[in-house]
Structure 1
Amino acid sequence: MLKKFFILCSGADTDILRACSNGEQNKYAGIGATVFFTAIMATIAASYALFTIFDNLYSAILFGLIWGLLIFNLDRYIISTIKKNGNFTDELIQATPRIILALIIAIVISKPLELKIFEKEINQVLLEEKNTLTLSNKNQIAEQFTPKLEALNSNIDSLQSQINRKEAEVNALYNIYINEAEGIAGTKRLGKGPVYKEKRDKHDTALADLQQLKTENKAKIETIEAQIAQAETDYANKVTTSQPIINNFDGLMARVNALNKLPWLPSFFIFLLFLAIETSPIFAKLLSPRGAYDFKLEDQENALKTQVLQNKNQREIMLETDTAINDRIYNDIKNEDELYNYKRKKARELMQLQADAFYKKQKTIL
């Protein structure tokens, strides 16, 4: 039962193969088994790749089965269309497009399995890329807020500088009126005279201005600090909202790119393995000598071809003969007076009927 199933998978004509030896049947059963298990591997590979994309097990299995059936049908078609005619060069030319197709199928099948085999190494590469993307993302977002924060901090520094300058001015006036009172500078008279009072009033006025300036600038600084805090909150929110996008950076294309960053040799050998599996039925059929099945198939096809050609030639001869007979018949009767008189009579009656019909139509119009 299993042998019949694998022979069916090989695409061979079961009626012809049934009349061949067991060795011939086993050869095609082996080819069919390779086709079947290649389709199984294609189903597994496609299911894993689609699960990576959709994150849904049932959808991945369903589409994986469809893909496996497609690969099975393609492989079966490739094997069944290679005909053994005894000329290896012609057979190789005939098989070249099918080998190219098998190469493409091997790449498609092997790549998802490579992703699964090297999953841990790929995860490490993706983790490094995610960390790099996280830092880059923070820097890019920071560049959006840096000019605004610098401008706000510059405003705070400017307001604080105004206070510092005013404090320096008040301190200088304080030293002046103190020195005047002590007789160290100014009039150099000890005691609190009119000059002292004038300088003290100037200091007090400046001190009042300083207090007012501090009050005003403090309110402005608090407003600016609130804007800075809001900008920092917006920055943190942008980083937080964009981080899930980076965390989800592990799709199929990202994994393929990560795989390409790993050493190529192990991945290449896995590809060669699947290429060998995919092309082995083709090369097995190319390299194997012509067997009983090939001769019987060729004999059946030649018999059918001969029959078709015979029928075609017979129909052509029949057509040619029938045409010649018809030409001869019409040549014989074209000079008969009886046929001429009969057709002349009918033509006259037809023209009379046409004339009567035209007359009636014209009479109706008038």
Structure 2
Amino acid sequence: MHQRDFYQTPKAGLFMRLLWKAAGADRYILERSTYGDQMKYLCLGGIIVATGFMAGIAGGFAFYTIFEPRGNAIDSFKTAADITSSYDAVHTGTLIKSIIFGTIWGLIIFNIDRFIVTSTGKGDGTEDITGKEFKSALPRIIMGSIIALTISKPVEIRMFKTEIDVKLHEKQMEQQQIYKAKTDSLFNSELAKKDKEIAKFEAELQGKIKRHTDLEQQYIEEARTITVGPRALAVKAQMIQVAAEIEQDKKNPDYVRIKKEKEEIEKRREKALNASEKVAAGLDGLLERIKLAHEIAGWVISLFITLLFLALELTPIFFKLMLIKGPYDYMEENIKELIKAERGIEVQYNFYQGEKEGHERDKVVQHEALRLLKEKIQILQSQSDISEQAIKSWRDIKMQEVTANPGSYITDSDTKTEA
């Protein structure tokens, strides 16, 4: 590095050089520039790295929220310790996947931000942002705004996680009751139909049971005498017959089948009711949490958080447009011009005055390419001239040979044909 008598550029450390690289700055030029230029690109790189870091956290949390095992937002309200333990429960497999996804997502956003910032020009070199500068930077501002929105929403639902969990648990309980009511309504109609069929059999069965009871009472009264008479025996015979009919009715295939069908319906109903908690747990999703975050925080706080991340994301773009040109910028332009001159590239600025605004108005002359093109054209032209001269000389030689010895060019068959 060139040593100056009037100014010595501070030596940059590893951390500063890494942030320069993140900002897309040229280390060679910055090490020969001023401390002020070094700090500009240090801060610019820090903002880009911070944005990528925040994007990684937000992406990982969003991934975990989407793919974590579903359950009640709050497992129990027994004690404060129970609530805390339910918050701290983490699914290890999903957490590992979330870390991997968050890292990849953060690197993607970091790379996109780096491209947006490095592709944004320095404007006119003044602090003012003119309409033309803003218009040229508008596509990058739109892309940065989209990235800011994707980062802010997962962070927002994480900030209000406690309140969201409580509200979400209430909604899950309501959803569970609604599901149970629908399940009961669906199965009750089937059960009522089976109960009606069973009632027909049981009405007849109860009638026979009542008759059996009456006969039994009648037999007891008749048997009070010392000897059982014919009347008592007849009552007993009827009682035995009714008892046999009762047993036969209880084993009736239709009656047994209907009761079995009812038991199966009740089992399915119980199974569906037991699944109500799982169904309600499905309400715990990213979209539902974002809705609840807006409902709990209100649009003012939600907008404030979004604007905060918009500022973080768009600051590098506006920062570059507001940068005042310093030694770094002039040295960078000088090096670009030297490289273009070394490669024979000439740029005639504002050459096409009649072109529409926004179109290319500079004329670029590639002298190195033109030189090679001219050399190639001359070589091809020379080869063509040489070939033409060679053919002409060969023709003259052949004509002389024909004049000296024409017979050698005429066959016997040609002579006989003429004769």
Indicate whether the TM-score tops 0.5. yes
CA distance in 2, matches of 1:144, 1:158: 23
CA distance in 2, matches of 1:127, 1:119: 12
Give the length in aligned residue pairs: 322
The 10-residue stretch of structure 1 (92-101 or 278-287) with the greater mean CA deviation from structure 2: 92-101
2:108 is matched with which residue?
Answer: 70
Contact kept? 2:123, 2:321, Cα under 8 Å: no
Contact kept? 2:176, 2:276, Cα under 8 Å: no
Match of 1:269 among 259, 279, 304: 304
CA deviation string 1:55-76 (max 9, x = no partner):
4322222221222122111111
CA distance in 2, matches of 1:336, 1:214: 133
The 10-residue stretch of structure 1 (104-113 or 261-270) with the greater mean CA deviation from structure 2: 261-270
CA distance in 1, matches of 2:280, 2:207: 49
Q: Please tell me whether Structure 1 or Structure 2 has the larger radius of gyration of its CA atoms.
A: 1
Aligned-residue offset at 1:34 = 0.4
1:32 is matched with which residue?
Answer: 45
2:356 is matched with which residue?
Answer: none
CA deviation string 1:139-165 (max 9, x = no partner):
222233122221133335555766899
1:289 is matched with which residue?
Answer: 324
What TM-score does the superposition give when structure 2 sets the normalisation length? Answer: 0.63
2:152 is matched with which residue?
Answer: 110
Rate the CA distance shift 1:208–1:265 in 2: closer, same or farther, 3 A: farther
Rate the CA distance shift 1:164–1:6 in 2: closer, same or farther, 3 A: closer
Task: Give SS of 1:335's match.
Answer: helix
Task: Give SS of 2:42's match.
Answer: helix
Segments of 5+ residues of structure 1 without an aligned counterpart are 168-206, 346-366
Aligned-residue offset at 1:91 = 3.9
The 10-residue stretch of structure 1 (45-54 or 97-106) with the greater mean CA deviation from structure 2: 45-54
CA distance in 1, matches of 2:60, 2:181: 39
- 1:47 equivalent to 2:65? Answer no
Aligned-residue offset at 1:79 = 1.1
Alignment root-mean-square deviation, CA: 4.2
Rate the CA distance shift 1:290–1:218 in 2: closer, same or farther, 3 A: same
2:376 is matched with which residue?
Answer: 319
Contact kept? 1:12, 1:28, Cα under 8 Å: yes
Contact kept? 1:88, 1:286, Cα under 8 Å: no
CA distance in 2, matches of 1:218, 1:9: 86
1:249 is matched with which residue?
Answer: 283
Aligned-residue offset at 1:121 = 2.2
CA distance in 2, matches of 1:270, 1:285: 24
Segments of 5+ residues of structure 2 without an aligned counterpart are 1-12, 69-90, 210-238, 346-365, 403-419
2:17 is matched with which residue?
Answer: 4
CA deviation string 1:240-279 (max 9, x = no partner):
1343242353233442343344423222211111111011
Contact kept? 1:152, 1:224, Cα under 8 Å: yes
Contact kept? 2:122, 2:323, Cα under 8 Å: no
CA distance in 2, matches of 1:281, 1:211: 96
Task: Give SS of 1:74's match.
Answer: helix
CA deviation string 1:117-141 (max 9, x = no partner):
1112221332122122212221222
The 10-residue stretch of structure 1 (120-129 or 257-266) with the greater mean CA deviation from structure 2: 257-266
CA deviation string 1:169-197 (max 9, x = no partner):
xxxxxxxxxxxxxxxxxxxxxxxxxxxxx
CA deviation string 1:89-120 (max 9, x = no partner):
55434422222221121111111111111112
What TM-score does the superposition give when structure 1 sets the normalisation length? Answer: 0.71
- 1:82 equivalent to 2:95? Answer no
Contact kept? 2:123, 2:322, Cα under 8 Å: no
CA deviation string 1:341-364 (max 9, x = no partner):
39x99xxxxxxxxxxxxxxxxxxx
1:231 is matched with which residue?
Answer: 265
Task: Give SS of 2:324's match.
Answer: coil
CA distance in 2, matches of 1:230, 1:320: 94
Rate the CA distance shift 1:93–1:14 in 2: closer, same or farther, 3 A: farther
CA distance in 2, matches of 1:15, 1:88: 31
CA distance in 2, matches of 1:66, 1:10: 19
Q: Which amino acid aligns with 1:78?
A: I
CA distance in 2, matches of 1:63, 1:103: 22
2:340 is matched with which residue?
Answer: 305
CA deviation string 1:36-92 (max 9, x = no partner):
111111122122222322443222222212221221111111111122352955543
Contact kept? 2:122, 2:322, Cα under 8 Å: no
Higher helix share: 1
Task: Give SS of 2:392's match.
Answer: coil
